[in-house]
Amino acid sequence: MDRQRASPVAGDRGRSAQVMSYVEILHALCDLERVDRTALRLIYWRGLTQAQVAHELALPQGVIGQCVARGMRELAGRLSAASSPD
C-alpha cells in the first residue's frame, strides 16, 4: 500500500498553538486564588454544577458563583496579557 503523507507543517502549527494555549491556561490557572482555581477546575474539568461544587467545598453557592466569575475574569486578563505582543 503506497500512501502519500500530507505535509505536517500546517497541522503542526495548529497543534502547536493548541498546546501553547493549553499551557498558557494551566499557568494562568496556577496563579489564581486556590478557591477560584478549585471551583473552575470542578466545574469545567469535572463537569459539576455550582450547587455540587458548593456542597463539595462546603461553601454557599453564591460564594462559588463569585469564585467562578472572579476566576474567569482573572483568567481572561492573564491570557489577554500573555497573548499580547511585547
Q: What's the CA gap between 7 and 75, in Å, rounded?
A: 35
Q: What letter would DSSP give residue 31?
A: T
Of the pLDDT bands very low, low, confident and very high (cuts 50, 70, 90), residue 5 is very low
For the cut 50, the answer to whether the pLDDT of residue 28 exceeds it is: yes
Of the pLDDT bands very low, low, confident and very high (cuts 50, 70, 90), residue 19 is low
Of the pLDDT bands very low, low, confident and very high (cuts 50, 70, 90), residue 83 is confident
Q: What's the CA gap between 27 and 11, in Å, rounded?
A: 24
Comparing 27-31, 75-79, 82-86, the range with the smallest average pLDDT is 82-86
Find the helix packing angle between 50-57 and 61-83, rounded to 10°. Answer: 110
39 burial type by CB count under 10 A (0-12 exposed, 13-18 middle, 19+ buried)? buried
Q: What letter would DSSP give residue 8?
A: S
Structural domains of the chain ordered from first start: 33-86 (1.10.10.10)
